[in-house]
Structure 1
Amino acid sequence: MNMEELARLAGVSKGAVSLALNGKPGVGQETRERILRLARESGYTGHSKGKGKTAAAEANATTLRFLVFTNAGLVHEEYYQQPFFRELIHHIEERCRMGGYRLMFSAIEEKHYEQGIRTIMEEPTSGVILLGTSLESSRIADIADKLPGLIVLDTCFDALPVHFVEINNYMGAYQAGTYLTGHGHRRIGYIASEERIHNFEERQRGFMAAMAEAQVEIPRSSLLAVPPTLFSSQGPLRDKLQHLKDSGQPFPTAFFCECDYIAISTIKALGELGFSIPEDVSVIGFDNINESLIVTPELTTVHVEKERMAAWAVDLFTSSLGVPPVVSTKIKVDTLFIARSSCRRLEPVTDL
């Protein structure tokens, strides 16, 4: 049986069969299970006679699992289509390919946590990288108890004896704050995510440290919070900016946004309210997703080394093969500030 025949038997496309057999996202869980069941029943191995790896060789290959709990905070069911996660996954795939490792994907809905973890435990792999972006400390601790040698990506809890690879969120937001104050901005607004996670808390802490050093106080009216997704935040954000504009208080000359999704929405919302970017208001984001180069003007942002984060995560897995470490490792990857067109330097003025 070839892939085309298996696809016809399962009533799906060849692309869906490929995604399911390779453990990649992009196909529903029920469809994935049906394809895998039919493949087992039909003896399908995915290779023609005399070509490629045998089924036994494939089974014995070193396999790394990328584990995601969906519908938990920022991580949606189609997380692999969200720009930040899409780029991160690409780099993990590339690092595994370079090392000769097989990478499989497992997505579990948060509401099916217990059942999902049991399934993962029954299908052991050589290692697990967990996307921890929206997960709390207690949840990660429970997963680590069940999956020894776990590597957690995109968050960190110092008290847990678990491998973590995270962004230096504090540093990135501090860089953004010092850039604004260094460019003459004193009326500064802060646009946060309504959903609070470790990364955002650290960004707020770093930005406020920069404000304190420059003796800049952000008034409560200029502290806004919106949903952290690109499309859903624009309407609520526009309403809040309109209210701030109508309040009679001096409008901020710059906004720092906790992620690029919010920053892009901010640029669009400010434009709809008649503001010109950056002539009237400067905007800074965080993450440096590919879309930050598409928006007009191009977004000033904090670059996150997604490729380096992916490399550290896979390398921690590699270093643990055969020799489990006695102690865990926590890695913090620094950021790089990227100045583009959405910010400008203010001319020196007298007291505003």
Structure 2
Amino acid sequence: MKMEDIAKLAGVSKSAVSLTLNNKPGIGAETREKILRVVEEHGYVHKARGQHEEQAVRTLTFLAFANSGIVLEDYYEQPFFREIIQYIEERCRSNGYSLLFATVDPSRMLEHIEEISEEQRSDGIILLGTNLDHAQVRAMIEHLTTPLVVLDNCYETLPVSFVSINNVMGAYQAGMHLCSLGHRHIGYLASNVPLHNFHERRKGFLHALQMNDLSLEVTFNVAPTILSSQESLKKLLSEYLKQGNAMPTAFFCECDYIAISAIKTLSELGYRIPEDISIVGFDNITEAQIITPQLTTVHVEKQRLAHLAVDTLVQTILSPQQAKTKVVVDTQFITRSSTRAI
């Protein structure tokens, strides 16, 4: 029996099993208990990295700062990260590597980094940079001796390889789409958790509006990880309308989570999507095609990002003295039924 089998039996991801068996944080108590129950029932014996049988195995580690910003404790179950991890695991196997998972508690960052360095369990680390600021990434570079690649973020002044999304381009595409449909009163639904990626998306969207001689109508800040309707957004919209303002005819949302939540919230308020209000998201998670109406969004090349992260890290392991690289992957705009011309 393999770790993948335990994951299937427990109905969780392989990363969740890995974190549990290695006694790492980042797993909810209920999920951890369920995994351990399956392990006990099937007599699975986990072989630690230091055991003789594993010595010859080449491994990479996927490292995340959980409970920080948009990366929640069970981040491996969040749609965007779930897809990324799946593609990373596939690429690791094709390159002859197994994939481990580790989680850093932001409040104990340096302590956890030191533990990871001392364990020396893997040949290289893919650091999920989604929710990390410049100082946090710099600290990782300074304290880790293991080859490192940062995924889903980019700080040009730091001496490490990055693989990131062209956030500016994606949001620009979204803005141009809404303008081409004749929308002139456009709102912006921003994350109430500030992230570098979201800052870049705002920059691209505003540029599209400027190209069409428009300005942003209004910005509302909402939770970025809720797929259900949000009472806080209802209150913000109600207060805005009470002040005598007209509802925007379209909203751009900084991520699909926000967009899906907005569709549900606005529908509960009696607005029809897209007849009354058009909605555009960003990321193209699986749920974007399940929501009604299906979500117009910016497609992020998750498979391409994952493959580049693994390939860049493997090359860094093989040639540690080579120059670091910063790769930006372009987006594609996907038109579905949550937007229409006015």
Task: Give the TM-score of the pair, scaled to structure 1.
Answer: 0.84
Give the secondary structure class of the aligned counterpart of 2:18: coil
Equivalent residue for 1:299? 295
Q: What are the within-5 Å matches in structure 2 for residues 235-254 of structure 1?
A: 235-254=231-250
Equivalent residue for 1:92? 88
Q: CA deviation at 1:57?
A: 4.9
Larger Rg, first or second structure (1 or 2): 1
2:172 corresponds to 1:168: no
Residues 11-34 of structure 1, C-alpha deviations (whole Å, 9 max, x = no match)? xx9859x969973569863798xx
Match of 2:113 among 114, 117, 121: 117
**Could you tell me how far apart the structure 2 residues matched to 1:261 and 1:342 are?**
14
Give the secondary structure class of the aligned counterpart of 1:239: helix
Partner amino acid, structure 2, of 1:64: L
Q: Are 2:191 and 2:198, in contact at CA under 8 Å, matched by a contact in 1?
A: yes
| Identical residues among aligned pairs (%) | 47
**Could you tell me how far apart the structure 2 residues matched to 1:193 and 1:45 are?**
40
Q: Are 1:187 and 1:254, in contact at CA under 8 Å, matched by a contact in 2?
A: yes
2:178 corresponds to 1:183: no
Q: What are the within-5 Å matches in structure 2 for residues 265-344 of structure 1?
A: 265-344=261-340
Match of 2:254 among 255, 258, 264: 258
Equivalent residue for 2:128? 131
**Could you tell me how far apart the structure 2 residues matched to 1:229 and 1:21 are?**
19
Match of 1:29 among 9, 15, 24: 24
Match of 1:206 among 191, 196, 204: 204
Q: Are 2:229 and 2:264, in contact at CA under 8 Å, matched by a contact in 1?
A: no
**Could you tell me how far apart the structure 1 residues matched to 2:241 and 2:293 are?**
22
Equivalent residue for 1:195? 193
**Could you tell me how far apart the structure 1 residues matched to 2:296 and 2:95 are?**
35
**Could you tell me how far apart the structure 2 residues matched to 1:82 and 1:21 are?**
12
- The count of corresponding residues between Structure 1 and Structure 2 is 321
Deviates most, 82-91 or 241-250: 241-250
Q: Are 1:22 and 1:104, in contact at CA under 8 Å, matched by a contact in 2?
A: no
Equivalent residue for 2:79? 83
Partner amino acid, structure 2, of 1:342: S
**Could you tell me how far apart the structure 1 residues matched to 2:21 and 2:213 are?**
49
**Could you tell me how far apart the structure 2 residues matched to 1:111 and 1:14 are?**
33
**Could you tell me how far apart the structure 1 residues matched to 2:15 and 2:204 are?**
42
Q: CA deviation at 1:233?
A: 6.7
Residues 48-80 of structure 1, C-alpha deviations (whole Å, 9 max, x = no match)? xxxxxxx63522211101111111111111111
Q: CA deviation at 1:243?
A: 2.1
Partner amino acid, structure 2, of 1:23: S
CA spacing shift, 1:19–1:227, aligned 2, 3 Å: closer
Partner amino acid, structure 1, of 2:183: H
CA spacing shift, 1:233–1:127, aligned 2, 3 Å: farther
Partner amino acid, structure 1, of 2:170: G
**Could you tell me how far apart the structure 1 residues matched to 2:284 and 2:156 are?**
26
CA spacing shift, 1:205–1:19, aligned 2, 3 Å: closer
2:70 corresponds to 1:63: no
Partner amino acid, structure 1, of 2:117: M
CA spacing shift, 1:65–1:142, aligned 2, 3 Å: same
Give the gaps of 5 or more residues in structure 1: 8-12, 47-54, 347-352
Q: CA deviation at 1:281?
A: 0.4
2:142 corresponds to 1:145: yes
CA spacing shift, 1:22–1:64, aligned 2, 3 Å: farther
